[in-house]
Every structure is written in structure tokens, then in C-alpha cells.
Amino acid sequence: MVHDFPSPARTLAGITVAAVAVLATVGCSSTSDTGTTEPAASQAAGWPRTFTNPDGSTTEIPSKPEAIVSTSVSVTGTLLAFDAPVVASGSGATGEFFAQWAEVADERDIANLWPAGKVDLEAVYAHAPDLVVVSATGADSLMDQIDELRAIAPTIVVDYGGQTWQELAGTLGQATGLATEAEQTVTAFDESVREAASKIQVPAGSANVISFNGAGEDNPIARRGSAQAGLLSDLGFTLEDPNPEWNTRSQLREDFVWTAYENLTTLTAETTFILSKDDAGAQAFAEDPVLANVPSVQQGQVYGLGANSFRVDPYSATEIVDGVVARFAN
């Protein structure tokens, strides 16, 4: 199956404490498309504060939220990572929370509102939120219901597709009054990536990341601008960039190139990571007879990037890092 991949994202682990501080400062007065709070005087006073949505509209948040409803399953993981008071969340298309943080959601007794693509406004009312978070894009976006949601509680919109999870954490931290906690979460992750990089022996040559769907299907290959490639790069890997002329979609994205199966035979990387698979699942690529001469197959270096590696949030990013350390530890 070909996934509906996230929008372009930049390198995951390169955001330092200083960068997050800059993001927070900008959040006090900016009206950028990523969503910010303003003005500086209001921020100094604390509350209320004004959040600027991606379309330029603003949302006044009267007080520090204590009951957040996240209608976007893709945003919820970042909120949970810095302990935002989420009481309910939308789920994935299967009706389940993302596996990488489902246990955390269960521990915190977070209610499952609905599967992506559906909406039940009565369920939002029932949780009496003082802040609702909506995604600007994606299968879990509820932009068509934004007016109804704003009638229930202050509602902000974030564009997770155009940000790394670290940048999203900075935006959400400002909106929720948890900027320090969000910054600490990013800092801890960045430090863990640096530590992980010092523990591994990266295989010689380059690496690539493929969503392998087999013959007769498009097989997306991660570009260097993807979240997955950025994280591997921060761990010390050199990423093979797919030929953009292979792209079969109407628009070329910065994160993945959708390519015909036959082009996989021309890849040159000595290591291949298969998206959304563990090592066992990755063997479908390694055992494909048409791909027998691909360098990574020849060298027996085809690995799963992780079952939850499709949507990179704080939890899945940590899983990816842990998996790489386990595989390539010195």
C-alpha cells in the first residue's frame, strides 16, 4: 500500500535549545504560517494570549489550558511528549491511536474520539475542553468543521506537515503555556541522538529509505529533505537522494519521490531501510528476485526502519534511534 506521506519536513534532530528559544521568541510577536502567539506584552503578562493560525486568523486563549482536545492523531503525540493536558484525541483511520504512544494515552486515560475522516461534535462537547487543536491538512484535518469547533471552545490550527515535530512542539508549547516543557523535551531528544551517534558504527557507503510496495505499484523513496532521512543523517548516515525525474505524481515533494518499481534496480546505496517495517518485514525487498543485484541486497544490509516509522513524532523518532543503535552498536 502506498502511504499518504507527511508534507516536507526538515532535519529532525538539529534543533538546539537556542533554536527553540528563538522559535519561542518569534511566537510572541510573529504572524508566520506555522502558528504563533502575540504580542510580547500579552506574553509577558501570561494570559490571555493570542494565537495566529496558518491562514492568518487569530484565536484568543483566555487562560492556561487544563483540558485539551486534539482532533488530529498526528499532533497528539507531540502534545503528549511534553505532558500537555490532553483529555481526548482523534485516532487513525483504523480507529486506533498510533502504536508508538498508545500505551501513554492509555495510562493517561485519554479518550478516543473518532477515526480519522470522521467527526462527532457531541463528543467534543462532552469533554468540556478549554482548547481544541486542529490540523490544517491531512486525513485527520477538520477544517470544514472549524466554526462549529470554535463555538465549543477556543480552537487553534497547526500545520504539522510543514514542520518537524520539534518545531511543532515549540508552537504548541507557546499556545499551552508549556514552552519550557516543550523545549526540555526537544533538548533531551537532541542529546539522545548525539549520544546514539557516538555509540554506533555506520556501515560504509550510503543508505536509502524506501516504502516498498513491490511490482506494479509506486515505491516512494525518501529524499534528503524527509524527516526519516534527516534523522538518519543526524545519526551519521549519508543518504542517497533519488532522481527527482522518477517522480510519478503531478507535483514533486521535498520529502519523497514516488517512483516506478523498475527504478529500484538502479539504486546504489549499500544500506537500505524499509519504511513501516521491522527487519522481518523488510525481507520482502531483500528476497525480491528482480532486486537481487541491488547493492544493499548483495551486501545483506536491508533493514526495517521500524513499524511506526511512517509518521515521525517524538515517540516514533525515539523508536527509530533505539532500533539503529541496537542494529549498529559499536
Regarding whether 136 and 81 lie in a shared domain, the answer is yes
Check pLDDT > 60 for residue 6: no
Q: What is the pLDDT of residues 39-50, one digit of tens each?
A: 444 344 589 999
Buried b (16+ CB within 10 A) or exposed e, 242-251: beeebbeeee
Regarding whether 209 and 170 lie in a shared domain, the answer is no
Confidence band for 17, pLDDT divided at 50, 70 and 90: very low
For the beta carbon of residue 298, count every other beta carbon within 10 angstroms: 11
Regarding whether 216 and 139 lie in a shared domain, the answer is no
Q: Is residue 9 part of a domain?
A: no
HSE on the CB side for 193, CA within 13 Å? 23
Residue recorded with cell 527527482: 244
Cell of 160: 504539522
Regarding whether 151 and 56 lie in a shared domain, the answer is yes
Cα→Cα distances 17→179, 278, 316, 317, Å: 12, 32, 21, 18
Cα→Cα distances 231→91, 197, 261, Å: 25, 11, 25
From CA 63, how far away is CA 69, in angstroms rounded?
Answer: 15
From CA 83, how far away is CA 315, in angstroms rounded?
Answer: 13
Question: Containing domain of residue 91, as a range?
Answer: 17-187
pLDDT of residue 4: 55
Check pLDDT > 60 for residue 19: no
Q: Is residue 255 part of a domain?
A: yes
Regarding whether 205 and 183 lie in a shared domain, the answer is no
* Whole-prediction pTM: 0.84
For residue 148, give every residue at least 6 positions away whose Cβ sits within 8 Å of its Cβ, in sequence order, or none: 121
Q: How many domains does the chain have?
A: 2
